[in-house]
Amino acid sequence: MIQFSHPEPEPSTTTIWPVFLPFAGCPYRCLYCAQDKQTGRGEAQLEALFRDMQNDLTQALEQGRGPYELAFYGGTFTALPRPWQERFLELADRFRQAGLVTRVRCSTRPDCVDADGLAALRERGLDLVELGIQSFDDGALRASSRGYDGRTARRACGLVKASGMGLGVQLLPGLPGDDRGLFRADVDVAAAFAPETARLYPCLVIRGTGLATLWERGEYEPWPLARAKEELAEALPVFWEKGSRVIRLGLAPEGTLAENILAGPWHPALGQSVRGLALLAIVRGQVAKLDGPVTGFEVPRRYQGELFGHAGELVDDYAAAGIRKETVRYVDRERFRLTTQ
């Protein structure tokens, strides 16, 4: 008999309250980016977004909702004019003092952070910085016109860690300039910083982006879905081992995104498929240690939805490992248990 735990760190229990600031502070539009489609909002009008945030949070407070982790997403927060950064953080702080907000995070680019700026933001109540790293590879960054190199990306991760705030990393595998093994190398570099969170978004071709033009000309080919699943599944344990939570696999079907995807590895159940594959690899590793055929497999109930993958796509793989559906029992314990005769 073998017992084992799932290596994934405990999920966060706080609810994110996103404040989308589409393209706000962005020095230019990146080749693949379609924040307007993802968020369903046009370019940020900061005054209007500020008022909306104030009204919505006031309403939530009056209704006794929360608490929330406030997240400024969709743009380059640290490149906003300084007075705007301060206004947004001061407003967040007012709601923190009222008990509605427990933490504040923002997303930004690696070439838009410096030690003094991060220290000032921390002072004003920022708790976590998510860096849109995309890749640490100079070639992929150049081919995608990101405007910085791998050294800048690594330096930014180090600066956020040194600031005492939490670090979040976002990787975008399958960019132009991608090569076999490149994503795995990026994952290793990112995980070495032991970020608090990671988001992995396989590159998609979205209508209206520069990448769509390249794709239409036949100059860019996105990853097939099968490759995205396989590579993401291999990345998960690397982050888990460092205690990093992978909080997103693939873009969420928000706004008008789904109808604007022209090509690329997108599926509404991508996360479930990837997590299922990662779990399959863990189970196979444990089965290999047994000295007889599997007669019973107890699985913590919370993994019921992903054990056999999306729509049972892994049933045959489990059967090949000697685990049939009838062998499995879902239990209210935290550890998996494999038994032989």
Return the range that interacts with ligand SF4 (CB under 6 A); candidates 25-33, 201-209, 221-229, 246-254: 25-33
- Closest C-alpha to 263, from 229, 311, 213, 200: 213
Q: Is 199 in the site for ligand SF4 (CB under 6 A)?
A: no
Q: Which residue in the set 19, 30, 118, 140 belongs to the binding site for ligand SF4 (CB under 6 A)?
A: 30
3-class SS of residue 97 = helix
Give me the least distance between CB of 80 and ligand SF4, in Å please: 12
109 makes contact with ligand SF4 (CB under 6 A)? yes
Token pair in block for residue 210: 């520069």
Q: Give the footprint of ligand SF4 on residues 126-145 (CB under 6 A).
A: 132
Encoding tokens for residue 115? 């030690």
The residue within the footprint of ligand SF4, chosen from 29, 122, 155, 227 (CB under 6 A), is 29
Q: CB-wise, 121 or 236, nearer to ligand SF4?
A: 121
Under the criterion CB under 6 A, does residue 212 sit at the interface with ligand SF4?
Answer: no
E strands, the chain, are 2-5, 15-20, 68-73, 101-108, 128-134, 166-171, 197-200, 205-206, 245-249, 261-263, 294-300, 328-331, 335-340
Contact window for ligand SF4 (CB under 6 A) among 28-36, 93-101, 161-169, 299-307: 28-36
Candidate ranges 26-34, 97-105, 249-257, 290-298; the one touching ligand SF4 (CB under 6 A)? 26-34
- Vertex 262 angle, CA 260 and 263, to 5°: 135
> Are 167 and 239 contacting, i.e. CB atoms less than 8 angstroms apart?
no
Choices 23-31, 54-62, 83-91, 261-269; region in contact with ligand SF4 by CB under 6 A: 23-31
Q: Which of 230, 105, 115, 123 is nearest to 169 (CA)?
A: 105
Per CB under 6 A, 75 contacts ligand SF4: yes
Neighbours of 48 (CB within 10 A): 10
Q: Can residue 37 be called a binding residue for ligand SF4 (CB under 6 A)?
A: no
Whole-angstrom CA distances from 79 to 29, 155, 173, 235 are 14, 17, 25, 30
- Using CB under 6 A, which of 20, 23, 88, 239 touches ligand SF4? 23
Q: By rule CB under 6 A, what count of residues binds ligand SF4?
A: 10
Q: Is 276 in the site for ligand SF4 (CB under 6 A)?
A: no
Compute the least distance from the CB of residue 77 to ligand SF4, in Å: 10
Pick out residues in 157-176 that bind ligand SF4 (CB under 6 A): none
Q: Pairing state of beta strands 197-200 and 166-171?
A: parallel
List of residues contacting ligand SF4 (CB under 6 A): 23, 26, 29-30, 33, 35, 75-76, 109, 132
